């Protein structure tokens, strides 16, 4: 697999290098040079496969030149002790449950694969690798669980103090071993900026071997396209129509993975990018201007992003062409009161409990259908990015019920958190990294 930097298409690297560098030296993001195309005939064959077989088939198209078939099979077997599930709510609406992994969010799909892929390559490395992760919640826990006790790799998580849910915090601050959590006095964007500054610091990088595991890492995007294939193919062969796919979005990594799938030939009619009150992208669609700004807090906090890092990839994919972007993607912003109202409506109508992120997605599809009457009956898949149990309080308030935490979350709440508190300025972070 060859990848280029969004800022300079003439520089190409291997998957191995993109995986360990995270970001290109010119601070661009890596993009596949070629999307392997899947033809109509092959789609029919893919329809019968279970999730792991399908994941292997897709992964192999990208990675066969760098990872042996046994290696890839092992990566997939070890990564996926869980699978996505498709729930049909009515004739035209499907929910793709992506929360059956160890930390109950879709991020397990990317993180688990990336951890195993790194551990496959790291066998030849001599120096310990330090992975920096800025997290607004779910990335941290998914990455921490995926890498926990993986030899030769240390994880440093940066998260905004007081701005992630107590449960999310416990999920990544209680593992210990090779997982270190830094509690930053600032916002998620500050955390992300600290990580970016560390990567830009050449002297520091000579001393410490740094890599990233955020959604800017291509090692997470490739596996995230697996479940798009699995779900779209499933629904397509059931209804024989092109499909709408709605993605609750923050940093836009998940959506980017879906667009990769589309570039390989997936029959998706339109992607719906659902965001909360952090509406930089809907504003871009309206005005053509991209104006990043500090994030605001919402109930769907894993999407509280004011400067979505993968937007650069999406622009690159469509040659920075505003009309072309609009042709493939539709977007809308859903605020907190409407999020709660949607959780209620979905429960009343279908007896199905959704978390606030999924609710943003459900409402976005409804709005899209109101806006584009021709697609009123076009089948839609809404990605359900988190288990409702992770947002127990919000669910109980919205639905006026006593929803119980899943057992695995119960256990983690009883554990003691271990963190290092740190101000949001780079000086402290740099000193810390220098000394580890």
Ligand X SMILES: *Cc1c(COP(=O)(O)O)cnc(C)c1O
**Least distance between ligand X and beta carbon 251 (Å):** 3
Binding mask 279-318 for ligand X (x = CB under 6 A): -----------------------xx---------------
User: x/- binding map, residues 85-104, to ligand X, per CB under 6 A?
Assistant: --------------------
- Nearest-angstrom CA–CA distance, 144 and 139: 8
How do beta strands 243-248 and 380-384 pair? Answer: parallel
Q: Return the SS3 of 337.
A: helix
When binding is defined by CB under 6 A, the residue of 138, 169, 190, 304 that contacts ligand X is 138
Q: Rounded to the nearest whole angstrom, what is the least distance from the CB of residue 189 to ligand X in the complex?
A: 13
Question: CA-CA distance, 258 to 255, in Å (whole number)?
Answer: 5
Stretch of residues binding ligand X (CB under 6 A), selected from 79-87, 182-190, 244-252, 427-435: 244-252
Query: What six digits make up the tokens of 375?
Result: 């697609």
> CA-CA distance, 410 to 406, in Å (whole number)?
7
Q: Report in angstroms how near the CB of residue 300 gets to ligand X at its nearest.
A: 7
- Shortest distance in whole angstroms from residue 250 CB to ligand X: 4
Burial class (CB in 10 A: 0-12, 13-18, 19+), 5: buried
By CB under 6 A, is residue 219 in contact with ligand X?
Answer: no
Of 214, 41, 57, 251, the closest CA to residue 132 belongs to: 214
CA distance 163 to 182: 13
We find the least distance from the C-beta atom of residue 381 to ligand X, in angstroms, to be 15
Chosen residue from 16, 357, 363, 369 binding ligand X by CB under 6 A: 357
Sign of the CA dihedral running 292, 190, 415, 114? positive
Cα 327 versus chain centre, distance: 23
Does 199 help bind ligand X (rule: CB under 6 A)? no
**Position among 191, 381, 386, 422 found at the interface with ligand X (CB under 6 A):** 386
Number of residues interacting with ligand X: please give it, by CB under 6 A.
16
Q: How many residues are recorded in the chain?
A: 436
> Does residue 107 belong to the site contacting ligand X (CB under 6 A)?
yes
167 Rama sector, left if φ>0, alpha if ψ -120 to 50, beta otherwise: alpha
> Half-sphere exposure (CA, 13 Å, Cβ side) for 99?
24
Active site residue 107: yes
Give me the catalytic one of 107, 163, 196, 270.
107
**Contact flag: residue 105 with ligand X (CB under 6 A):** yes
Of 160, 253, 379, 389, the residue at the interface with ligand X (CB under 6 A) is 253
Q: What single-letter DSSP state applies at residue 319?
A: T
Dihedral angle computed from the Cα positions of residues 427, 428, 431 and 436, in that order, rounded to the nearest 10 degrees? -150
361 binds ligand X (CB under 6 A): no
Residue in 212, 249, 276, 298 binding ligand X, rule: CB under 6 A = 249
Q: Pick between residue 93 and residue 298 the one whose CB is nearest to ligand X.
A: 298
- Please identify the residue of the shown chain whose CB is closest to the bound ligand X: 138
How far apart are CB 292 and ligand X at their closest, in Å?
Answer: 14
d(CA 331, CA 329): 7
Binding of ligand X by 248 (CB under 6 A): yes
Give catalytic residue positions: 107
Q: Which residues are near ligand X by CB under 6 A?
A: 105, 107, 138, 215, 248-254, 302-303, 357, 385-386
């Amino acid at each position: 697999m060859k990848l280029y930097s969004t800022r300079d298409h003439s520089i190409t690297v291997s998957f191995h290098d993109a995986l360990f560098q995270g970001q290109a030296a010119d601070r661009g993001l890596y993009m596949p040079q070629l999307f392997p195309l899947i033809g109509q005939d092959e789609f029919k064959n893919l329809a019968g496969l279970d999730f792991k077989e399908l994941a292997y088939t897709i992964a192999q198209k990208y990675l066969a030149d760098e990872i042996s078939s046994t290696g890839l099979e092992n990566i997939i077997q070890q990564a996926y002790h869980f699978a996505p599930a498709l729930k049909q709510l009515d004739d035209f609406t499907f929910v793709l449950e992506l929360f059956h992994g160890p930390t109950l969010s879709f991020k397990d799909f990317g993180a688990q694969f990336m951890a195993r892929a790194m551990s496959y390559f790291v066998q030849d490395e001599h120096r310990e690798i330090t992975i920096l992760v800025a997290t607004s919640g779910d990335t941290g826990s998914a990455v921490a669980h995926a890498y926990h006790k993986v030899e030769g790799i240390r994880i440093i998580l940066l998260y905004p103090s007081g701005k992630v849910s107590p449960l999310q915090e416990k999920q990544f601050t209680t593992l210990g071993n090779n997982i270190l959590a830094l509690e930053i006095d600032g916002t998620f964007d500050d955390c992300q900026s600290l990580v970016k500054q560390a990567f830009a610091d050449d002297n520091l990088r000579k001393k410490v071997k740094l890599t990233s595991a955020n959604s800017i890492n291509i090692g997470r995007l490739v596996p995230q396209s697996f479940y798009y294939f699995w779900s779209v193919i499933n629904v397509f062969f059931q209804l024989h129509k092109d499909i709408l796919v709605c993605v609750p979005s923050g940093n836009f990594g998940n959506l980017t993975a879906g667009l990769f799938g589309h570039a390989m030939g997936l029959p998706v009619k339109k992607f719906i990018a659902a965001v909360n009150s952090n509406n930089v992208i809907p504003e871009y669609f309206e005005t053509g201007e991209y104006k990043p700004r500090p994030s605001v807090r919402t109930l769907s906090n894993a999407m509280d992003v004011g400067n979505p890092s993968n937007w650069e990839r999406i622009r690159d994919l469509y040659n920075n062409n505003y009309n072309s972007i609009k042709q493939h993607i539709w977007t809308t912003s859903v605020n907190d009161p409407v999020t709660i109202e949607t959780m209620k409506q979905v429960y009343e109508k279908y007896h199905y409990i959704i978390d606030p992120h999924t609710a943003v997605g459900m409402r976005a599809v409804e709005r899209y259908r109101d806006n584009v009457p021709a697609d009123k009956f076009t089948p839609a898949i809404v990605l359900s990015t988190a288990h409702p149990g992770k947002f127990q309080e919000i669910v109980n308030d919205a639905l006026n019920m006593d929803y119980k935490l899943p057992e695995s979350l119960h256990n983690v709440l009883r554990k003691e958190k271990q963190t290092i508190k740190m101000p949001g300025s780079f000086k402290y972070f740099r000193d810390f990294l220098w000394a580890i």
